[in-house]
Amino acid sequence: MNNKNNKDNNLSNKSSLIKVALLGFGTIGSGVYTLLENQSKLISERLYSATGRNISLEIAKVLVLPDEYPEQLPQEIRVTDYDQILNDDSIEIVVELMGGLEPATKFMNQAMERGKHVVTANKYAIFTAQGALEEKADLTDVHLRYEAAVAGAIPILRSITEGLIGDEVEEVVGILNGSTNYILTEVKKGKSLEQALEEARQNGYLEADPSADLEGYDAMHKLGILGYLITGNYPAEREIERAGITGISPQDIEQAKQNGQAIKLVARATKTETGKFTYSVRPEALAEDHPLFHTEGVLNTIQIKCKYAQELAFTGYGAGSLETATAVTGDIVSIARDLHIC
């Protein structure tokens, strides 16, 4: 059984190999594979600086579908049966990048029950579990990290839970879905909805079920996770007012443009006078002087209003392979570091 801060692990041995398994080798999975490979020297150097140990990370197994043979993936680490990962005690970190609710949730629970640490980018599963996955991590004494679940490359979860730990967040306003922002931007430039949607698909920005993006569910899941980090409780789905972009026509976008506005899918969490937060995801026509007006394409922006730090804004890639992979890699490396800090 892993100890969460495994101080006794190899204390006499100053070298450690941490084995990682990826579940899924799609847009993000292949990005994580590339990033860990390209950055392995730098990551080991940083882990050495942080812990005084030679720590290397190895992707030991990758779970793919039976008919999936990604060119980049060496045959010897390709597996199609999750039990081969679950039953391998040498694998310490499971990285769930399959997306969707099931079997992803079951796989994460099973990994934690076996004492494996879990990293995921799965906002749908994290939000839907409403705290049960975090609870499982506590009970099984493992790390569960999901920085990539919200706003792709932007380290927004760490900023809230670490950077702002001594402050109080009073409002979050953001563009949290990259694909719909890409579509709205491209249609504003003159492309058809169909063409913009197809480009978003080809770039790997869309969920497996694109209605999650188009109907605002994906942004709702991300907003719910932010709500949890801010308040300590997940808002229920019924507490989040939600509308997507399917009701917007190219004519609406053109009309807004003529008025000097841009239509954006805006997510808001706002503290009311009673101290309770209200939540919404809906399209809004923003004027040019609005801070989110200039967030174009697949970029996300998150503005945070705090009691003491006042206003902060974060902009960065909200989707994309290597961009999102940086957040997943950050979680993997920080777990490796925390396991070896004495």
Does position 318 interact with ligand HSE (CB under 6 A)? The reply is yes
Tokens of 207: 């969920």
The yes-or-no answer on residue 271 being catalytic is no
Does position 186 interact with ligand HSE (CB under 6 A)? The reply is no
Reference 77, options 58, 62, 94; nearest CA is 62
What is the amino acid identity at position 209? Answer: D
Residue of 61, 222, 264, 271 marked active site: 222
Beta carbons of 317 and 179 less than 8 angstroms apart: no
Reference 104, options 87, 117, 123, 88; nearest CA is 123
Tokens of 11: 């204390």
d(CA 283, CA 164): 28
Q: Which is nearer to ligand HSE, 26 or 250 (CB)?
A: 26
How many residues bind ligand HSE (CB under 6 A)? The answer is 11
Residue nearest to ligand HSE (CB): 179
Does position 124 interact with ligand HSE (CB under 6 A)? The reply is no
Does position 154 interact with ligand HSE (CB under 6 A)? The reply is no
Q: Which of 43, 137, 319, 332 binds ligand HSE (CB under 6 A)?
A: 319
Does position 147 interact with ligand HSE (CB under 6 A)? The reply is no
Does position 178 interact with ligand HSE (CB under 6 A)? The reply is yes
d(CA 208, CA 88): 29
Of the listed pieces 17-25, 58-66, 204-212, 263-271, which binds ligand HSE according to CB under 6 A?
A: 204-212
d(CA 114, CA 104): 15
Does position 122 interact with ligand HSE (CB under 6 A)? The reply is no
Q: Which is nearer to ligand HSE, 152 or 244 (CB)?
A: 152
Going by the DSSP 8-state scheme, the letter that residue 75 receives in this structure is G
Q: What would you measure as the largest C-alpha separation in the chain, in angstroms?
A: 69
In whole angstroms, how close is the CB of 150 to ligand HSE at the nearest point? 8
Q: Which residues pair with 306 in a beta bridge?
A: 169
Site string for ligand HSE, 211-250 (x = CB under 6 A): --x----x--------------------------------
SS3 342: coil
| Residues identified as active-site | 222
Interacting residues toward ligand HSE by CB under 6 A: 152, 177-179, 205-207, 213, 218, 318-319
